Amino acid sequence: MKRYVAILAALLLVFGLTNALAAGKLRVTQENFHVIDSYGIYGYAYARIDNVGDKPIKVNAGILEIFDTEGDALTSTDYMSKYAEYLQPGEYTYVSMRTEVKDVEASQIDDYLLTITGKSENKYISQRFPCTTSYEPGVEAGYWTHNYMYATFTNDTDKPIYGIEILLVLLDAEGNILYMDDASMYSDKALMPGGAITVRKDVSSSYMDYFKKSDLVPASVDAIAFVEVDLE
């Protein structure tokens, strides 16, 4: 399958009368696209996005467009999920977009275009917490076999933290994104200072079948645990 290179808008911020430029700049450093046939045909686009500029930036909007073998547009979506919204310089997040492609076979889907835009942001941050991760495939439980992603995150602050969200990303040996899932703590549940929680997510069996057919081999997990903080 061919793929378009993802396009991200670099946002330039102008300060003062001198028009000096300082950039909060997004860049795709890894992306992948899968077509999954499970109760319908779905196109999934995943991307790792880094703030390579020197100013805070917000992942603001995105669009995923999917094309057939003739280059004609089949469908599109502007709904993004599973990401830390606010990036400080040097930080990164993962973004997931998906859409159902109706009235076609999976073999008719050929190309995609993923566009992500950002804008300046100084009011909020996505406060992050240290994580350790692991991947355990082939765990047998009764009649079922599970393929688990684990992430353990720790509250390294001196205050109780509420509403933590965690993003788990399955990677192959080269760091290509294969799958994403997320979890969250309810807003009335606190992680106390020095406390840790382990999250376990089972990789969808539809994806595991797709990996096998496509000669894709999961190797590791990356995770981002974060909570949005109002700086004002």
> How close are the terminal C-alpha atoms of the chain, in Å?
47
CB count within 10 Å of CB 32 equals 17
Write out the two tokens for 81. Answer: 């999920």
Confirm whether pTM is higher than 0.85. Answer: yes
Nearest to 158, CA basis, from 197, 192, 193, 189: 193
pLDDT digit string, tens, across residues 162-204? 999 999 999 999 999 999 999 998 878 899 999 999 999 999 9
Residue-wise pLDDT for 11-59, tens only, equals 333 333 233 334 568 999 999 999 999 889 999 999 999 999 999 999 9
Q: Tokens standing for 59? A: 């992942």
Separation between Cα atoms, residue 26 and residue 92, nearest integer Å: 9
Long-range contact set of residues 27-34: C-beta below 8 Å, sequence gap at least 24: 27/52, 28/114, 28/116, 29/92, 30/175, 30/176, 30/177, 31/3, 31/6, 31/114, 31/177, 32/176, 32/177, 32/178, 33/1, 33/3, 33/112, 33/114, 34/178, 34/207, 34/210
Query: What domains sit in the chain, N to C, each tagged with a CATH number?
Result: 7-122 (2.60.40.10), 125-230 (2.60.40)
Structure confidence by residue, pLDDT tens digits, 152-167: 999 999 999 999 999 9
Percent helix, percent strand, percent coil in the chain, to nearest 5: 5, 60, 35
H or E stretch at 213: helix 205-213
pLDDT one-digit tens code per residue, 117-158: 999 988 999 999 999 999 999 999 888 999 999 999 999 999
